[in-house]
């Protein structure tokens, strides 16, 4: 759970983005409701029809700067694009335009947040060509005799002793 100061910081940043967009496009944009119950690997999600932005409280607490510099603008840009251009590709040229020219932000669609706390434990497996991360559910199946093949090299995945590396979080 986020305290009211954390929620305020995210909302203030969101409002900054809306004001930038209103200056740029010379029109008013409808403000969203901000929720803080995003689950899973996503840092945040924008719900266009409902005009809602959800933030992942767990990831925010561990990645404050990245949220305030990047994630808030990313999600607000989705809502701006929807109000300005209607239904277009989520990370298409309109969204990139808003990120670059209105918010002066890099238009990244993934980022390197540490998501180990929200995805649960992962297990490293090796084939002939690369390393795979298996969920605990799959890992338990392997322990019971299941075999997983790599789609690339068709090799059988074998548990490796290396620790799982961080995966990219979604935006």
- Least Cβ distance, residue 102 to Zn ion (angstroms): 15
- Least Cβ distance, residue 49 to Zn ion (angstroms): 16
Which DSSP letter does residue 31 get?
Answer: P
Using only C-alpha atoms, the chain has a radius of gyration, in whole angstroms, of: 20
Residue 125, strand partner residues: 132, 159
Residues of this chain that interact with Zn ion (CB under 5 A) are: 127, 129, 150, 152-153, 171
Q: Which is nearer to Zn ion, 8 or 50 (CB)?
A: 50
Q: Which is nearer to Zn ion, 110 or 140 (CB)?
A: 110
Query: Under a CB-based contact definition with an 8 Å cutoff, are residues 17 and 103 in contact?
Result: yes
* CB neighbour list of residue 144: distance below 8 Å, 6 or more residues apart: none
- Least Cβ distance, residue 3 to Zn ion (angstroms): 26
In the set 22, 75, 94, 165, the catalytic residue is 75
Query: Under a CB-based contact definition with an 8 Å cutoff, are residues 171 and 109 in contact?
Result: yes
Determine whether 94 is an active site residue. Answer: no
Catalytic residues: 75
């Amino acid at each position: 759970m986020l305290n009211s100061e954390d929620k305020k910081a995210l909302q203030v940043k969101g409002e900054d983005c809306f004001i930038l967009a209103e200056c740029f496009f010379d029109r008013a944009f409808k403000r969203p409701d901000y929720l803080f119950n995003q689950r899973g690997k996503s840092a945040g999600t924008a719900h266009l029809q409902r005009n809602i932005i959800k933030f992942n409280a767990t990831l925010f607490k561990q990645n404050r700067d990245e949220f305030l510099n990047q994630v808030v603008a990313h999600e607000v840009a989705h809502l701006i694009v929807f109000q300005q251009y209607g239904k277009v590709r989520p990370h298409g040229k309109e969204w990139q335009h808003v990120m670059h020219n209105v918010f002066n932000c890099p238009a990244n669609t993934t980022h390197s947040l540490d998501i180990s706390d929200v995805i649960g434990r992962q297990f490293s497996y090796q084939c002939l060509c690369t390393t795979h991360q298996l969920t605990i559910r799959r890992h338990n199946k392997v322990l019971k005799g299941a075999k997983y093949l790599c789609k690339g090299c068709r090799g059988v995945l074998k548990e490796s002793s290396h620790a799982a590396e961080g995966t990219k979080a979604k935006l």
